[in-house]
Structure 1
């Protein structure tokens, strides 16, 4: 076996060992066995809420245990294949096994990042708001591009997406939109995307083909599940109804089905127009408000809450977390971690894992590396 592959095998073994330790392997196996036994008992459904909670825990624990077992077995199988291929002089088998080991290394790295997702709401579904900045059509088009990027990312991550509300721009793009992304660790992965995103390109809306800089803001907050209690009454809010705008057909626009809720004490505003039923939109908006209030409480507990709050104040210079340059050169650069890509189209097509992984590691461990803005 080549020295490079031997080193990689050792690193994967060490990473798997760390993953086992992080999971508390022996205790997790006992807990999973206990949950499997409870799942076979029909009386568990006498308390539906408790049963669902246990089923979610069982599913997440089973996925974590199974993934580690699979990584371990795959590594062992491919090491044996290399030994067999070298003994028989079959270079094709060796090449394929080495390729598989490189893939395992990348997967183990991602699993280690996921192990960092131990926050109170990291495993929850998430809301994602996108707002255009100053600049009219150009920034509204940029906001629509970001919306598409996150929908593509969710699709690639095998998560489900719902568009809860969308306000189209006058000529193109969107003024704002809210997504609901459903999937395990959806909030944990997406939370570092909050902030201002900057685009530099030759504007397709400029007849003189000049270079434009546009800004759009992204705000990510977790869906509050049944295990988290957020008390808020109708006396604390103002509720407005209005006619929905944008796609959805004639029926969407003929009644005041859209709902906007304003929390008086904090000024937080949420709105939903995804359903034709005002009752359903009202229920969703209440869930969004509770999630926003919960997210505000989480921010107060985090050391970096003040820095994040500052990034949301202005959609413009000095507050961006990432720059996307399409002309005169092609580069996407995260200004917190220094991670770069020279393929902006891939990033805009939803290939965001590299940026998210680095931002998560940076958020947990911090960084001594200073990064500079792009000219």
Structure 2
């Protein structure tokens, strides 16, 4: 078989993998169910619910038609290629060469869009960084990560707001929470969730020894008010206190900072960036809603693994990436094996190759690269 036919055959296989991962039959069934529901006489009695279902129908219909159409195009082109080879038709082969290139471009474009088609991927994000064990070393590493993400966000044109930060005793930060505002901020940043490991010669060690430091990154979506995350007022304790600046200094005379504890889960969130208690409370509640959403997602993932009979636990706290600055220069993502020797660029916010590789992996694209 010619190289052209092999390209088309591989494209058919690639699209077929995506169709399986995407579960197109299930989505097609959902489209049919929504279409039937939409013609019911009382469908529009609840305007808000009806609009949401029509939006869901529009998105699902577009996705199904796109991938089924791409699959049919690739199959048709492959069949014509095999016929053209038998008939030795150079004109048809030349036309199919152009079609194969167009198909490959469409596939590349839409496969990445598919990786960002999750329920909240288009939303803004809440990013939290926590220094791991290791004192000043880990706290300095947490601050390096904060700088990396702020630079990444700046390059993408996202607005960032630090809503809470606890500084280290000597250097760095113990923890920080940042709201990243912009389209698909959560869709991209969810790839960064996990433990990040740094290996370097310590600037805080008089003997200049090599140290390993860890920091944990959490990412939650900024949820709209109509998202079904209910927080019973009886389940939370709210504390107000003076906002603290660097070195523990109070920056305001009035108690405007807010700390909220969610009693059923033990989750605690703090916000002290805004000037009013009301604004800080609203920001803290947004963070809490995001954390509860992520907790529910983890629970569902664990339940899904259990029902499938796999001896696998959903583990969101494992090491995902190593940043080695000594004895050699290397950043390597342990999930995708993407790596680079340009550590300076990565720490300056050039993390898109890692994010994109992980996103593609989530829709089975890693299998297509082999």
Shared fold per TM-score greater than 0.5: yes
Change (3 A) 1:177 1:304: farther
Take 1:258 and 1:53, find their aligned partners in 2: how far apart are those partners? 36
Contact 1:110/1:357 (<8 A) preserved:
no
Contact 1:134/1:215 (<8 A) preserved:
yes
CA apart distance, 1:206:
1.3
Q: Hey, what does 2:155 align to over in structure 1? A: 156
Take 1:107 and 1:170, find their aligned partners in 2: how far apart are those partners? 52
Change (3 A) 1:363 1:15: closer
Take 1:213 and 1:161, find their aligned partners in 2: how far apart are those partners? 29
Take 2:193 and 2:224, find their aligned partners in 1: how far apart are those partners? 21
Q: Hey, what does 1:239 align to over in structure 2? A: 238
Superposed, 1:93-108 pairs within 5 Å as none
Superposed, 1:89-168 pairs within 5 Å as 109=108, 112-168=111-167
Helix, strand or coil for the counterpart of 1:178?
strand
Helix, strand or coil for the counterpart of 2:219?
strand
Q: Hey, what does 2:73 align to over in structure 1? A: none
Take 1:245 and 1:183, find their aligned partners in 2: how far apart are those partners? 28
Question: So what's the TM-score if we normalise by structure 1?
Answer: 0.66
Q: Hey, what does 2:358 align to over in structure 1? A: 359
Take 1:233 and 1:356, find their aligned partners in 2: how far apart are those partners? 36
Take 2:256 and 2:185, find their aligned partners in 1: how far apart are those partners? 28
Superposed, 1:281-292 pairs within 5 Å as 281-292=280-291
Take 1:177 and 1:323, find their aligned partners in 2: how far apart are those partners? 21
Matched, 1:330 2:329: yes
Contact 1:125/1:185 (<8 A) preserved:
yes
Take 2:264 and 2:192, find their aligned partners in 1: how far apart are those partners? 27
Q: Hey, what does 1:258 align to over in structure 2? A: 257
Change (3 A) 1:217 1:300: same
CA apart distance, 1:109:
4.2
Helix, strand or coil for the counterpart of 2:137?
helix
Take 1:349 and 1:279, find their aligned partners in 2: how far apart are those partners? 35
CA deviations on 1:82-123 (whole Å, 9 max, x unpaired) are xxxxxxxxxxxxxxxxxxxxxxx9998465323222211111
Contact 1:222/1:291 (<8 A) preserved:
yes
Aligned positions, number: 302
What 5-or-longer segments of structure 2 have no aligned partner? 25-46, 64-103, 307-311
Change (3 A) 1:212 1:250: closer
Contact 1:272/1:282 (<8 A) preserved:
yes
Helix, strand or coil for the counterpart of 1:115?
helix
Change (3 A) 1:185 1:135: same
Higher CA-based Rg: 2
CA apart distance, 1:150:
1.0
Q: Hey, what does 2:208 align to over in structure 1? A: 209
What 5-or-longer segments of structure 1 have no aligned partner? 25-46, 65-104, 313-318, 370-375
Helix, strand or coil for the counterpart of 1:365?
coil
Take 1:304 and 1:148, find their aligned partners in 2: how far apart are those partners? 36
Take 2:305 and 2:190, find their aligned partners in 1: how far apart are those partners? 13
Matched, 1:194 2:215: no
Q: Hey, what does 1:184 align to over in structure 2? A: 183
Take 1:320 and 1:352, find their aligned partners in 2: how far apart are those partners? 16
Superposed, 1:271-290 pairs within 5 Å as 271-290=270-289
Take 2:247 and 2:157, find their aligned partners in 1: how far apart are those partners? 25
Change (3 A) 1:242 1:304: farther
CA apart distance, 1:279:
1.2
CA apart distance, 1:308:
4.6
Take 1:364 and 1:274, find their aligned partners in 2: how far apart are those partners? 38
CA apart distance, 1:184:
1.4
Take 2:298 and 2:360, find their aligned partners in 1: how far apart are those partners? 18
CA apart distance, 1:53:
8.6
Take 1:271 and 1:304, find their aligned partners in 2: how far apart are those partners? 33
CA apart distance, 1:326:
0.5
